[in-house]
Amino acid sequence: MSVNSVPTIDQLPVVVVGAGPIGLAAAAHLIERGIEPLVLEAGPSAGTAVRDWAHVRLFSPWSEVADPAAEKLLAPTGWVRPDGATYPTGGDWAERYLQPLADVLGDTVRYGATVTGVARSGRDRIVDAGRDEQPFTVHIQAADGREERIVARAVIDASGTWSTPGPLGANGLPALGEKTAADRISYGVPDLKDPAVRARYAGKRTAVVGSGASAFTALAHLADLAKEEDGTHAVWILRRGITGSTYGGGEADELPARGALGLRAKAAVEDGHAGAVTGFRTQAVERDGDGTLILVAEDGRRLDPVDEVIVLTGFRPDLSFLSEIRLGLDERLQAPTALAPLIDPNVHSCGTVYPHGVNELAHPEKDIYLVGMKSYGRAPTFLAMTGYEQVRSIAAAIAGDQEAAERVELTLPETGVCGGAGLFDDPDAAQGGEAGGCCGAPATLQIGIGAPAPSGGC
């Protein structure tokens, strides 16, 4: 190609947004296909979001959190995957896998590059004419404030949902007073090994709002603290009632580490280190005269004052920088329309994840994909190996290998999304009726070409 020639679209890089586990895996799969990736990471290092929960242990072992294409890139450096049967923390994952992978990718990864917008070149979202023939323009802002525009053949958004946690308010909006009480409200599992964080919760009364694995983790950690520091107590705030499966699959969980965590949360309640308040949908936060907080429910109930509130109500995708792109998203989950029915916690009490790849992740706008946690929108419990399979399929499709793109082969635990049947007004129906629901006897779903294998009845 001569110096003055203009590159064709297929000579442009594929922009990957986010240098987390799925974004870096996407880059590895693109390289394997002979396609140039450019990974844009807003933070200063690989796995910036993962490092924010460095103290939290994953449910998946090392054998399930390292992507095969990434391992091939790492192998010449002498990198050896840690014991596949052990469970890394977020910090382990970032330091022992994500950063080495990003280092191998070298200049392919740019740090301090925040994506502020994506569009078709010369076309806002209204214009139809010649749209698919135009490359993407990706607007970024560097750490020093400098702005830049990059041209790309395709965009893979693996930016995750960590930056947009769900609020305290039960209607999806911040509770009244939530913002003004920000000094006593946090939105992540606290690292109680950090002396400053430990001092914040030791001897205090803390409300934990949420019903998922993060809430289990916080309750378990606070219960451990309560055994060492008198006066430490947790109040578990649940929007639903308590059923046999409120604490997850327990010993029957296909993800043993998650099952064990649920049992620890249950023990925290049974041992008196935490009390549970059910059917409580927070409407407002009021500050008492001594600075403590009072949570007020939509039905008028008022809880006893608490010193701190930990909000663990899930996450949601930031779609603001994609406003000029034509996305096809489910109106409830904000996930791709073809994927949403497979992961919708309003329907699935166990989250059977059927085969999905490029076809389920496609949008009306050609060659843009949301992957990883972001592809799940507001649905819970995403597994890393699901994301690795997503980007393998997408890289194949971008390379023009449609047969490989549609050949999705993966084995997932059927308990991949245990979010309940959506009937939160009926405690008995909240998790499928029977104790444990169908999550009480999980099966493994073999995902491959054709119909799924028989499951446990979900």
Q: In angstroms, rounded to a whole number, what is the distance separating the alpha carbons of residues 154 and 301? A: 51
Contact 225, 199 (CB under 8 A): no
CA torsion through residues 393, 397, 400, 403, sign: positive
Instruction: Using alpha carbons, list the distances in angstroms from residue 56 to 43, 92, 315, 385, 430.
Output: 20, 10, 17, 18, 27
Cβ atoms < 10 Å from Cβ of 29: 26
Contact 114, 140 (CB under 8 A): yes
pTM: 0.85
| pLDDT over 90 percentage in the chain | 70
| pLDDT by residue, tens only, the chain of 458 residues | 444 566 788 899 999 999 999 999 999 999 999 999 999 999 999 999 999 999 998 888 999 999 999 999 999 999 999 999 999 999 999 999 999 999 999 999 999 999 999 999 999 999 999 999 999 999 999 999 999 999 999 999 999 999 999 999 999 999 999 999 999 999 999 999 999 999 999 999 999 999 888 898 899 999 999 999 999 999 999 988 665 555 555 454 555 555 576 778 778 888 888 998 999 999 999 999 899 999 999 999 999 999 999 999 999 999 999 999 999 999 999 999 999 998 888 775 444 566 689 999 999 999 999 999 999 999 987 889 999 999 999 999 999 999 999 987 775 655 443 333 333 333 333 333 322 222 222 222 222 333 222 223 33
Q: In angstroms, rounded to a whole number, what is the distance separating the alpha carbons of residues 4 and 216? A: 59
